[in-house]
Amino acid sequence: MKVIFVMDTAEAMGAKASDGMTLLDWAKAGAEHFLKSRAGCNDLHALVTTTGPEHDGPHLLSSFGVGEDRLKPALKNLSCRGTGTVPEALRLGFRILATWRLRANVDFFGQGRRPWAVDPAILLVFTSGAGLPLEKDAPALTIPPLDLPFAGFYEDAWRWDQHCYAFVMGGGAAAAAVPPPLKKFCDATGGWSSLSRSLLGVTSDVDMMLHKINALGPMVIFADADPKPEAAPGPSGARHDGPPGVHRACIVPRQAPPNLAPLIYKWLIPERAWLDRVMEEVPVRSSHPVLHFRRIEPGDGDDAAVRSFLTAVETLEAIKFPVDVYDVKGSRMLTFPMKRGNRWPVYVEGSGREPRAPTATAASLVTGVAPAAPQAPPRYIGYLASSPQAGKVTLNLLPFNFPTLAPLLKTAADLVVGAGGSLKPKPGGGAPVSNPTVLSGLSGNWRKAFNSYVFQVPQPYCAPLRQALAPYGGIAQMVPERDLKLGKGLVRRFAKVRELCAALQQEEARVKAQDNIEANFGRLPPEEGLPAAAPRGRPMYTHPGAVPPALGVSHWEHVRRRVHGGGGGLTVRGLFAPLCES
């Protein structure tokens, strides 16, 4: 997991608390307590401050991959100066995460979201809250857009697996409450905020936050398809935000027992709009997917759509079809009037291939501006179900528009079982079972209905669907291996973005290499070629280029000998020759 410490180093953090320590000292203690508690977790850390050594803007003191040996001294030597702002520092933090996210290869833009393949990251903000409004109706913090090639593809600067946690230092003359803009921003990212009035309170709040991130997953928005204004609770663990029926919650993949193989997840969360060859503009992607759910009451069984959904779920359970199960979790527990055994269908507006009306986005749901109803019927991708644990809810993901697929699979499954095959899945999703082929026993109407279903399935679903259909008597061969085909405009746009991202990664690699050279300067072992009497220790100068000539010649002579080996037939003469002797 990636962790960014966003430290408020403005002059307000220099205020004295009742114990004689400054608010910045409290913040340092909280960050050090976090590092000590997470020791051995293989986290990557970065340190961002609201003010730099020579300016008031945000400053990166330590980036990912440099190790705690540089992070801790930088954290310890922080001091208060200037009047920097937290939003600008958060923007720098999200920019760092966005550039490093290119290496993780977890953003499959336009090809669905994969809740099991994420790059989790948290931002820990330690601030006094000075300069932020305290009015309850104040809007959430606004993060300026990122100056990156792909920034225009998303509505916000953060992603669905990036969460912000704020610790407001409430000692002395600092804020008496968490500023509402900061609190709303943390809630919008799936994080949490707290007010600490003592050093013990800071460490206690850090411990509480550590408990919350033990089971951290991507954040989604649950929207009730038919909200009730008087009472519209959402899934257990979801937090209410905005108009009735809109809730935010994190979904966490379930883990297999220790004695079994890891679970294999297959099913995606579809996009609001799929990329195709006729599309000229890139659709803007929301930071969090919006999952609409429909409440099914006991008396709704007469509805044909409800009856089809319930029958499809029972059919897939009977034939042991693979389903991805996620626990719905959050920081605020809400009442969830869902009886055990109930199942509520889930879908994403606009994910069908038919012409569609404007769909609901995360921003429109929070503001309460309802878009037009979709023209095409909803394509169910799963359902909400009550967990065996009291008061818990799970999100169960299935193939795209599974109510249409279920009766077709039932026919194929009966033929497979009748021919002596088995549909029992292997523990942990092992290799597919080899069953007898039943294609010859399927009627022409079945083939026509199955081909019609496959035509409606978006391209990213084809590969996992073929894998899931492997035990069903050869019908996986009827799912084509479709390639993602885009229009010329989108191809040129993505090619340009790839070029800019490659240049950005090269620049980041160059800066990191230079940073590593500076960090290891003077720490190289003498047996590599440098004499033991050579000057050592990192020089303390105003900029990296201000290196004494003796140290510079010594270091680059060492680099030359490591590349070419031995003395290379070259001899350094003159004033610095004693420093480069073998």
pTM of the predicted model, to two decimals?
Answer: 0.76
What is the reported pLDDT for 270?
86
How far apart are the C-alpha atoms of 295 and 346, rounded to whole Å?
Answer: 10
Is-contact 254 284, C-beta < 8 A? Answer: no
- Report the share of the chain in percent with pLDDT over 70: 69
- Is 432 inside any structural domain? no
Is-contact 221 308, C-beta < 8 A? Answer: no
Query: Is the predicted pLDDT of residue 276 greater than 60, yes or no?
Result: yes
How far apart are the C-alpha atoms of 555 and 547, rounded to whole Å?
Answer: 10
Of 176, 192, 215, which marks where a domain is finished? 215
Q: Give the DSSP H/E element, type plus range, for residue 155.
A: none
How far apart are the C-alpha atoms of 530 and 519, rounded to whole Å?
Answer: 18
In total, how many domains does the chain have?
3
Using CA atoms in the order 423, 429, 430, 436, what is the torsion angle rounded to 10 degrees? Answer: 20
Q: What is the mean pLDDT of residues 367-396?
A: 70
Cα torsion angle, 380, 344, 468, 324, sign: positive
Spatial CB neighbours of 129, under 8 Å, sequence gap ≥ 6 = 168, 169, 170, 174, 175, 178, 179, 182
Query: Is the predicted pLDDT of residue 124 greater than 90, yes or no?
Result: yes
Judgement on whether residues 320 and 386 belong to the same structural domain of the protein: yes
Q: Which of 227-236, 369-378, 397-406 has the highest mean pLDDT?
A: 397-406
3-state secondary structure 334-348: CCCCCCCCCEEEEEC
Judgement on whether residues 211 and 229 belong to the same structural domain of the protein: no
pLDDT class of 569 with cuts at 50, 70, 90: very low
CA distances for 162 relative to 97, 276, 363, angstroms: 9, 29, 17
Hey, is 396 helix, strand or coil?
A: strand
Tens digits of residue pLDDT in 202-218: 899 999 888 888 778 89
Q: What is the mean pLDDT of residues 419-435?
A: 60
Query: Is the predicted pLDDT of residue 372 greater than 70, yes or no?
Result: no
Domain residues for 559? 521-580
- Is 441 inside any structural domain? no
Judgement on whether residues 194 and 319 belong to the same structural domain of the protein: no
Query: Is the predicted pLDDT of residue 65 greater than 80, yes or no?
Result: no
Q: What is the mean pLDDT of residues 285-310?
A: 79
Is-contact 90 6, C-beta < 8 A? Answer: yes
For the record, the structure tokens of 503 come out as: 């240049």
Query: Is the predicted pLDDT of residue 279 greater than 80, yes or no?
Result: no
What is the reported pLDDT for 123?
92
Hey, is 59 helix, strand or coil?
A: strand
Judgement on whether residues 198 and 238 belong to the same structural domain of the protein: no
Query: Is the predicted pLDDT of residue 161 greater than 50, yes or no?
Result: yes
Spatial CB neighbours of 155, under 8 Å, sequence gap ≥ 6 = 284, 285, 286, 287, 361, 362, 363
Of 168, 198, 215, which marks where a domain is finished? 215
How far apart are the C-alpha atoms of 261 and 255, rounded to whole Å?
Answer: 10
pLDDT class of 511 with cuts at 50, 70, 90: low
Residue 93: give its domain's CATH number: 3.40.50.410
How far apart are the C-alpha atoms of 289 and 381, rounded to whole Å?
Answer: 13
- Is 423 inside any structural domain? no
Q: What is the DSSP string of 61-117?
A: EE-TTS-HHHHHHHHHT----S---HHHHHHHHHHHHHHHHHHHT---TTS-B-TTS
Judgement on whether residues 283 and 331 belong to the same structural domain of the protein: yes
Helices 444-456, 402-418: crossing angle, 10 deg rounding: 140
- Is 133 inside any structural domain? yes
Q: What is the mean pLDDT of residues 437-445?
A: 80
pLDDT class of 532 with cuts at 50, 70, 90: very low
The residue behind tokens 């996210």 is 101
Judgement on whether residues 152 and 35 belong to the same structural domain of the protein: yes
For the record, the structure tokens of 483 come out as: 């390639």
For the record, the structure tokens of 476 come out as: 């996986």
Query: Is the predicted pLDDT of residue 373 greater than 50, yes or no?
Result: no
Is-contact 213 122, C-beta < 8 A? Answer: yes
Q: Which of 289-298, 513-522, 530-539 has the highest mean pLDDT?
A: 289-298
Judgement on whether residues 192 and 283 belong to the same structural domain of the protein: no
- Is 88 inside any structural domain? yes
Judgement on whether residues 289 and 245 belong to the same structural domain of the protein: yes
Query: Is the predicted pLDDT of residue 566 greater than 70, yes or no?
Result: no
- Is 263 inside any structural domain? yes
Q: Check residues 65 and 384 and name the one with the higher pLDDT.
A: 384
Query: Is the predicted pLDDT of residue 78 greater than 80, yes or no?
Result: yes
How far apart are the C-alpha atoms of 177 and 410, rounded to whole Å?
Answer: 58
Of 166, 185, 215, which marks where a domain is finished? 215
What is the reported pLDDT for 295?
83
What is the reported pLDDT for 122?
92
- The CB density around residue 43, as the number of other CB atoms within 10 Å, is 16
- Report the share of the chain in percent with pLDDT over 90: 4
End-to-end Cα distance, the chain = 44
What is the reported pLDDT for 14?
84
Q: Check residues 522 and 81 and name the one with the higher pLDDT.
A: 81
- The overall average pLDDT reported for the chain is 74
Q: What is the mean pLDDT of residues 458-472?
A: 84
pLDDT class of 126 with cuts at 50, 70, 90: very high
The residue behind tokens 């400053």 is 59
For the record, the structure tokens of 407 come out as: 């009766």
| Residue 479, amino acid | V
- Is 422 inside any structural domain? no
Q: Check residues 504 and 512 and name the one with the higher pLDDT.
A: 504
Judgement on whether residues 238 and 364 belong to the same structural domain of the protein: yes
Go through the chain and tell me how many residues it has.
582
Judgement on whether residues 226 and 210 belong to the same structural domain of the protein: no
Q: What is the mean pLDDT of residues 10-19?
A: 83
CA distances for 535 relative to 50, 539, 557, 573, angstroms: 36, 10, 13, 18
What is the reported pLDDT for 509?
66
Is-contact 349 272, C-beta < 8 A? Answer: yes
- Is 484 inside any structural domain? no
Query: Is the predicted pLDDT of residue 125 greater than 80, yes or no?
Result: yes
Cα torsion angle, 375, 377, 382, 384, sign: positive
Is-contact 122 97, C-beta < 8 A? Answer: no
**Of the listed ranges 257-261, 363-367, 399-403, 530-534, the one predicted with least confidence:** 530-534
Q: What is the mean pLDDT of residues 102-123?
A: 82
Judgement on whether residues 167 and 314 belong to the same structural domain of the protein: no
- The CB density around residue 282, as the number of other CB atoms within 10 Å, is 18
Spatial CB neighbours of 468, under 8 Å, sequence gap ≥ 6 = 266, 321, 322, 399
Q: What is the mean pLDDT of residues 370-382?
A: 65
Q: What is the mean pLDDT of residues 379-391?
A: 79
For the record, the structure tokens of 339 come out as: 């009886």
Tens digits of residue pLDDT in 220-253: 988 887 766 544 455 554 554 445 577 888 888 8
Tens digits of residue pLDDT in 474-489: 788 888 887 777 777 7
In 31-40, which positions are buried (b, 16+ CB within 10 angstroms) versus exposed (e)? Answer: bebbbeeeee
Judgement on whether residues 8 and 73 belong to the same structural domain of the protein: yes
